[in-house]
Amino acid sequence: MLKNDRIWITSLLLLLVTCSWCVELTFELPDNSVECFYEDLTKNGKTTLEYQVLSGGNYDVDVVIKGPDSGQIYSGQRKQYDSHTFSAESDGVYSFCFSNEFSSFTHKVIYFDLVVGDEAPILDRLNKKQSALTQLESSCVNIHENLNVLIDVQTHHRNRESAGRNLAELLNERVSYWSVGESVIIVIIGIGQVWLLRRFFTTKKSTL
């Protein structure tokens, strides 16, 4: 492969990894509390919020999305995971609030992915609107699309693995406590039985 071809391919791949603005965040939500995040959106801009409860309680959370006028755009009640896409009706600051007020004892670990805007078409960035793509360019476009799908799938399975691991650790902890409790009860019952049998075979001294 020629040196110029290598430079061109490297530049093309760097171009393909650019995308719409997005953020992924995992945070802890205490009991009886609400955490809100804010984002300045433009009118008609597409926004997608995807969230999932990774650990805590019954793995549920309340989510509310509100616009600049405090109008409710989305409301999810006690959901483990969900995704919502909407177009901003006006310019302004939009709020994304996660509530754990219904829980009095357990905190939650929440993951959410906020994607703002659409990804610019690859062909526009390659200036290939009017000309046909070469085989190399077509392969790079396919790689880019497949990588986006792969990233989403990996994130989804990574979150499910984390939630499953936390649930397994919680069950293991409860089983351990239950086993210790059963052992204590068995010891107490054994001591009680020995004491009761000794009373049956112990003769009382008669007093004259």
Q: What is the CATH number of the domain that holds 110?
A: 2.60.120.380
HSE value, Cβ hemisphere, 13 Å, CA-based, for 183: 6
Same domain, 105 and 27: yes
- Which of these three, 118, 147, 172, is where a domain ends? 118
Global pTM value: 0.63
- What is the pLDDT, as a whole number, of residue 203? 62
Answer whether residue 15 shows pLDDT above 70: no
| Closest-CA residue to 114 (of 49, 64, 65, 63) | 49
Q: Using CA atoms, how far apart are residues 65 and 98, in angstroms rounded to an integer?
A: 9
pLDDT tens, residue by residue, 156-201? 777 778 777 877 888 888 899 999 999 999 999 999 888 888 887 7
Q: Which amino acid is at 59?
A: Y
Tell me what pLDDT residue 7 has.
41
Q: Would you place residue 3 in the very low, low, confident or very high pLDDT band (cuts 50, 70, 90)?
A: very low
Same domain, 114 and 137: no
Closest CA to 89 of 41, 48, 44, 46: 44
